[in-house]
Structure 1
Amino acid sequence: MPSPNADAGVRQSAPYGHACTACSKAKARCMSRGPGNSCERCHRMQKECQPSTVVRKRAPRGPGKRTNRLEDKLDDLVNLLHAQVATTSEPGALQANEHTNNLAIRSLDAQRQPSPIGRISSGEHSASSTHTSPFTGAHTPFPPEPSPSEADEHLKNFRLYHVQWLPLVYIPPQVTAAELQHERPFLWLNIRALCCKCVVEKNMLNQKIREILAQRLMVDLERSIDLLLGLLIHLGWVMNHVPGKKMLCSYSSLAMALVTDLRLDRPAHSPCNETDSYRKPIKQWMPMSHRTNEERRATLTCFVLCSSIASFLKVQPMRWTPMMEHALKELSNNPETPGDEVLAAIVKICKVVDDVTTVVPLRALTSETPQKSEQSKLPPTLYVKSLVSRLDAVHKELSPRLLDNKVVKSHLFNAYATINSVAIINMASSDALTGPVNFGRSDCVYACVEATKKCMDNWLTFTPEDVWSMSMESQLHFGRCAQIMYLIFMTEDPAWDRFGVRRSVDLVQFLERGAQLMESVPAAIGVRSEGTDFFSRSSAAARNTAAMWSKTFADSEAASGIGLHAQVPVDPGSVEIDGTFIPMDFDDAWMTEMFMSWDTY
């Protein structure tokens, strides 16, 4: 029985879980009237106030749960160890991983400190490098490292032969192969692969380079000048190790992406986001920075290679920017080496050739018939006249020493031939026979023939060492000359005498001499292969093409009732044609240029 003065106690709500049984069932608030007294509700309703029994429920503890979790972790660890053992047990994999890790560590050290190559060559430190990640995920066995004497021989050959064709980098004479490998590991790896004379080892190195590019560019998202220079060497001599045209667009796109990500085609600190003006109304101060010659060479070389590939595959070229124009002026006005002048001359020529794909529809440059909407209202001869005048201006700017350079001459003659060929490409013979004679096109054709003859004569003056070290764009000049001349020979038009042109230019003899030159390269250089190298295959393909073209020309002359005695035709039966060889198809640019059906790889 509660005491009469219980109402005077302190009113307090029962803690959570401690309400009386009646209030808990009624889901009412249980207000205590003090220790030993019933709650207000039970007191008011004159009920017995019974405190509820507090029982804390716990989830049953499984004695085996922790053991099971530990066993699962041990199983995962054992499986991981088994996978690692299986990977490292492959022949050469342990050596490859060790070399790859060392290469990555050297690359990290090289990015943390200024490069002696860039410092010696330009006196400036390149600021276009970001972090370098280790080379992981590569599975190709790595060939053993060359001896110091072999490494120095590779670097010597690169300086002496390869750089003259594409002066993309300047390595001072005092820099050794070991120093270059320490400062620019990926650049050195590409030089080693390029100068290697063993075809098996060369293929392994190039496969490793492709794996490293995929890992560092796509997985590790690395952006560095070392990676760009190595990629440019891999792309510049891509025809020596990549089967087919399918990789040209991929490699050129990667090179352009690297140039853009490193901001080499733009000012060093140009605003990249227009919304920053709202976030930072007062322009932030930035330290002054200028490009090094190493960066300028890399940017302009990327443009040259992408321009050659665009002209080759009939695709859109790389965009020319004011920063590239500034880099071109710097190398032209203040050349650090003779190679800078050669590179600047090549860039100026490529700029004019690039406009061929700009002013002329791409479809019109192929054998595909252009649509009416793509056909220009102006005759092609007007475009040719404008482009030739621009090329003449570049020609006059070149010094006599540059005009005597075989690399510059090859680019210059090829440019004249390419521009003048616009007037005859994709021209229907039926329209030419029924329409009036276009004497403007006649001038273009004979100018094209003259430029093509000069380019062919210049190409035949090359030595086996020149052909071995020749870069991609100069190699393509051989096929471009043959393609243009074949097109003139086989196109019937009253604007020119195709049989007269055929008497003045011995195209079959040019192919034969080119085949002999390429065939002599492995023996002269010491290339170790069994006829599987690039030069042996190119020589065989050129001979097969010469035999088929000789028969085609003879059939054409017989059908026209004209006999030509100036040329000595090749007997098709005297040349054994490979069964895997496919004749040239002008719809396939790669087969057109290099006389090989590499698309079957």
Structure 2
Amino acid sequence: MAPPDLTSPGGSSNSGGSPAGYGRSCTNCSRAKCKCILRAPGTSCERCHRLGKECNPIQATRKRVEKRYTSSRTAQLEEKLDDLVSILRSSQGGSIPHPRAAAHYPASTSSCEVPDNPNPQISRLDSLATAATASGPHAGYCSPSTSHNHPNYNANDAQSEPTPAEAEVYLQKFKAWLKNFPFMYISPDVTAHDLRRERPFLWLAIMTITTMSVPQMSVLKHRIRQEIAEIVVVRHEPSIDILQGVIAFLGWATMNSGPGWKPFLILFSQLAKSVTYELGLTRSPAEEQYFAICFKPWGGRHPQPKPRTLEERRALLSLWHITSMIASFIGKMDPLRWTLHMEESLETLEREKEHGQDEILATLVRIQLVTEEAHNLLVQDMMRSEESGQTPSWLHRKRLLDRLRAVRDGMTPSANASYVVQAQGYSAEVLVHSMGLFRPSMPEDQRVDAVYSCLRAVRSWYDIWFSVPLSETPSLPFHMYIQLSQTQIALYRVTTIDDPTWDKEIIRSTADLLVILDRTISRFEQMSSVYPMKTTGEDGTLFTKAAKIMKNIKASWEPELTQNLHGPPAPNSQQAAVGNSGGGSMGMAPGPAPATMPPGGPGMAAGGPAFVDPGSLDFTDLGWMTDVFGPWDFEKF
């Protein structure tokens, strides 16, 4: 059969017809799913004409779906906030400002702007949030993270805050304090307003430890507890701001002490450790990436590991240092575990030295590593019997002293000139020499050498302590007071040691503990005029309370000390050094305070009780020290 003639008059090629548009084909072509070619208007299509069928246009009309306009997430939130504002205005009698009126007063949930410095880029969403949370049109110079509608908010809190001018003074003071414990770097051009906007909790912690008003400090301390509970526990928002604020609060814990204040060292230390774990600072970014890939395969593509910043490394090392000191001070907690990433961070800090104070922080951490090992060996030695068969702690003495000597040899001039670094070095050696000192298994010749070396280290530490100018005493970090407690109990034990081969006159002429206590009491009493703080009638400052505590310690120890020194102290030991902040010694062997660590090596301390029977003193009883300079039981004095 011959193929049809495609050029016939019925073909589409010569008809000059046009294809029907979408939805205009006839019923037959639509059912047959053929292309519908229209001929002249009003006539049938080519296919129906060729087949002799009736050509009817399709009756179905296109169903048009109504176009939906999806609102953005921001618009939905704005609508919800509009509803909240309406509810709040109706429930509070119109005290909530209208959202459009509130837009003139910028505010945010993380910082509080000063009204005379508006932010022109604030969004309407922020304005609505302000209207929903503020109780008035002006937020003023308010708490950076506490709104007026917060259930724990007190109207007196805003009045208890330092003024902007006072905040600037306090921040400059804190910048000067950082040289003694440089856990962070604050640029000289950063103002208190800038810090409050960027790091509100850190700002609050700094204001608390630097304020010159005890009543104001009490309110701010309560705010600190509220803020950290709300942010870390309730909202679970860990950040470097929270971590640095807690480190600052713990680093100068003595400045936060006062009557009626609840213990916070263990609680805040554990919260800071929790924040560190949440931020992943204890592990290297590569290790974090490994755990994310191996144990979370369902998470899709994992983000690339972020390089660790020096700011994060400083915070991590500083937290380890302070938790290590507090753990040895209280004896009820463990420090942050030292990891390979911490060692890497320490080496990075020593190598890069972005700021001059990094050298001081690195040296403090290096010395504390030796101190922590010596402390652990001392505690283990005291917890086991002589017949246990384990290696005595005093056999590690030479190795630890070599490590201290290596740290000293590698110290930079800036670190060597820091009295905080020197004091920690001598404190470390006191503890190293104390290992096995009171165990019968230690050979007699080594015991005599250890006692005298410990005594020299104690003397060197007190030379540093009394060489610190009175005006700089408030800037001393908390671990300096821990060393003071540990060093004085080490001197007590050396003084009262029952050894007929040991000449007590050497102790009295080198470091007389009674006169040292007198000098320390006098030093704290003078602080009222050097660092005057505003107090109420019944509240005293840290230093007046510390003077009372030291007097109680002296009264408790004096009978035993006098008996062991065979009578009253030497005449020169009966004088108290008043008004002398230099390195001269009363009741000590004459000589100036060392400007740097001598070649003989650094020196270090161990702990014991304060308000107990002197005959029951024990290095393992570390809880006694919480009654010396910490914020624990001041109200009993």
Q: Normalising by the residue count of structure 2, what TM-score does the alignment of the two structures yield?
A: 0.65
**Aligned residue type for 1:540:** K
Name 1:106's counterpart in structure 2: 111
Cα offset for 1:281? 10
Instruction: Determine the structure 2 residue equivalent to 1:405.
Output: 418
Structure 1 residues 7-86: aligned runs within 5 Å: none
Report what 2:217 is aligned to.
202
Give 1:380 shift: 2.5
2:553 alignment counterpart: 545
Query: Is this contact kept in 1: 2:202–2:244, CA < 8 A?
Result: yes
Q: Which residue of 1 aligns with 2:594?
A: none
Q: Deviations over 1:226-274 (max 9, x none)?
A: 0111111111112332468953222211111111111111123534785
Change (3 A) 1:299 1:493: same
Distance verdict in 2 for CA 1:279–1:487, change over 3 Å:
closer
Distance 1:245 1:492 in 2: 39
**Equivalent in 174, 184, 204 of residue 158 of structure 1:** 174
Which of 519, 525, 531 lines up with 1:519 in the alignment? 525
Q: CA deviation at 1:498?
A: 3.8
Contact 2:327/2:334 (<8 A) preserved: yes
The answer to whether residue 343 in structure 2 is matched with residue 348 in structure 1 is no
Q: Give the whole-Å Cα distance in 2 for the aligned partners of 1:288 and 1:272.
A: 6
Is the Cα–Cα contact under 8 Å of residues 232 and 255 in structure 1 kept in the other structure? Answer: yes
The aligned residue for residue 125 of structure 1 is none
Aligned mate of 1:504, from 510, 524, 535: 510
Alpha carbons of 1:156 and 1:281: their partners in 2 closer, same or farther (altered >3 Å)? closer
For the 8 Å contact 2:280–2:288, the answer to whether it is kept is no
* Partner Cα separation in structure 1 for residue 500 and residue 273 of structure 2: 44
Name which of 345, 357, 365 aligns with 1:327.
345
What are the equivalent positions in structure 2 for 1:222-261 lying under 5 Å apart? 222-242=237-257, 246-261=263-278
The equivalences for 1:413-424 within 5 A come to 413-424=426-437
Q: Say if 2:495 and 2:507, in contact at 8 Å, map to a contact too.
A: yes
Which letter maps to 1:149? A
| SS across alignment from 2:264 | helix
CA change 1:339–1:565 in 2 (3 A) is same
When residues 289 and 592 of structure 1 are mapped into structure 2, their CA distance, relative to the original with a 3 A threshold, is closer
Query: Distance between the aligned counterparts of 1:584 and 1:307, measured in 2?
Result: 28
Aligned to 2:329: 312
Match of 2:570 in 1: 565
Q: Which stretch has the larger CA shift, 353-362 or 518-527? A: 353-362
One-letter code of the match for 2:415?
L
- CA distance in 1: counterparts of 2:629 and 2:175, whole angstroms: 30
Q: Quick one: which amino acid aligns to residue 490 of structure 1?
A: T
Q: Secondary structure at the match of 2:157?
A: coil
Residues 107, 184 of structure 1: 8 Å contact kept: no
Encode CA deviations 1:55-108: one digit per residue, 9 max, x unaligned. Answer: xxxxxxxxxxxxxxxxxxxxxxxxx99xx99xx9xxxxxxxxxxxx96843289
Structure 2 unpaired stretches of 5+: 1-86, 96-105, 114-118, 123-143, 577-609
Q: Work out which of the residue numbers 367, 388, 398 in structure 2 matches 1:385.
A: 398
Any conservation in 2 of the 1:413–1:452 contact (CA below 8 Å)?
Answer: yes
Q: Contact 1:199/1:533 (CA < 8 Å) preserved in 2?
A: yes
1:518–1:207 Cα change, 3 Å: same
Q: What residue number does 2:496 align with? A: 490
Distance change >3 Å, CA 496–CA 385, structure 1 → 2: farther
Q: For residues 425 and 559 of structure 2, what CA distance do their matches in structure 1 show?
A: 32
| SS of residue matched to 1:323 | helix
Whether 2:152 is the aligned partner of 1:138: answer yes
**What's the counterpart of residue 456 of structure 1?**
462
State the alpha-carbon separation in 2 of the partners of residues 482 and 361 from structure 1. Answer: 18
1:111-130 correspondence to structure 2 within 5 Å: none
Q: Distance in 2 between matches of 1:356 and 1:566?
A: 37
* Contact 2:556 2:611 (C-alpha < 8 Å) held by counterparts: no
Deviation at 1:552, TM superposition (A): 2.5
Structure 1 Cα separation of the partners of residues 389 and 424 of structure 2: 28
TM-score, structure 1 normalization: 0.69
One-letter code aligned to 2:152: A
**SS of 1:568 mapped into structure 2:** helix
Over aligned residue pairs, what C-alpha RMSD do you find?
3.7
Question: Is 319-328 or 283-292 further displaced after alignment?
Answer: 283-292
* Count of residue correspondences: 463
* Structure 1 residue 453: Cα displacement: 0.6
Does the 8 Å contact 1:492/1:498 carry over to 2? no
Q: How does 1:422-461 map to 2 (within 5 A)?
A: 422-424=435-437, 427=439, 432=440, 438-461=444-467
Question: Paired residue for 1:169?
Answer: 184
Aligned equivalents of 2:208, 2:290: Cα separation in 1: 40
How far apart, CA to CA, are the structure 2 residues paired with 1:462 and 1:328?
28
Q: Is the 8 A contact 1:511 1:546 kept in 2?
A: yes
Conserved? CA contact 2:170–2:210, under 8 Å = yes
Matched, 1:481 2:498: no
- Please identify which structure carries the higher helix content: 1
Corresponding residue number in structure 1 for 2:208:
193
Look up the match of 2:598.
none
Q: CA deviation at 1:285?
A: 5.9
CA contact (8 A) 1:346 1:408 kept: yes
Distance apart, 1:584 and its partner CA: 7.2
Deviations 1:387-413 (A, max 9, x none): 111111111111233212111101111
Gap change, CA 1:378 and 1:582, over 3 Å in 2: closer
Partner of 2:320: 303
Q: 1:338 — aligned with what?
A: 356
Query: Who is 1:556 aligned against?
Result: 564
Question: C-alpha distance in 1, partners of 2:373/2:338?
Answer: 11
Structure 1 pair 551–357 and aligned structure 2 pair: CA distance change class (3 A): closer
Distance 1:583 1:103 in 2: 53
User: Matches of 1:239 and 1:307 in 2, distance apart?
Assistant: 17
Note the alpha carbon deviations across 1:430-457, whole angstroms, 9 max, x for none: xx5xx88522122222111111111011
Q: 1:437 to 1:358 in 2, by over 3 A?
A: closer
Task: Tell me the alpha carbon deviations over residues 491-512 of structure 1, each in whole angstroms, 9 at most, x when there is no partner.
Answer: 2124633443233212111111
Quickly say closer, same or farther: Cα 1:596–1:194, change in 2 above 3 A.
Answer: closer
- SS at structure 2 position matched to 1:477: helix
Structure 2 residue matching 1:517: 3-state secondary structure: helix
Residue 98 of structure 1 aligns with which residue? none
What CA distance in whole angstroms lies between the structure 2 residues aligned with 1:479 and 1:376? 32
Q: Does 1:589 align with 2:597?
A: no
Q: Is the 8 A contact 1:488 1:498 kept in 2?
A: no
Instruction: Name the structure 1 match of 2:304.
Output: 287
Conservation of the 8 A alpha-carbon contact between 1:269 and 1:286 = no
2:179 is paired with a residue of what secondary structure?
Answer: coil
Q: After TM superposition, give the deviation of residue 596 of structure 1 in Å.
A: 6.5
Comparing 136-145 with 413-422, greater Cα deviation is found at 136-145
Q: Distance in 2 between matches of 1:103 and 1:242?
A: 32
Task: Quickly say closer, same or farther: Cα 1:268–1:318, change in 2 above 3 A.
Answer: same
8 Å CA contact retained: 2:508, 2:565: no
For 1:250 and 1:362, how far apart are their aligned partners in 2?
A: 25
Question: For structure 1, which segment, 524-533 or 330-339, has the greater mean C-alpha deviation from structure 2 after superposition?
Answer: 524-533
Provide the C-alpha distance between the structure 1 equivalents of 2:306 and 2:288, rounded to a whole number of angstroms. Answer: 14
Q: CA separation of 1:564/1:232 partners in 2, compared to 1, >3 Å: closer, same or farther?
A: closer
Does the aligned pair in 1 maintain the 2:243–2:275 contact within 8 Å? yes
Any idea what the Cα deviations from partners look like across 1:96-126, whole Å, max 9, x if unmatched? xxxxx96843289x9xx9xxxxxxxxxxxxx
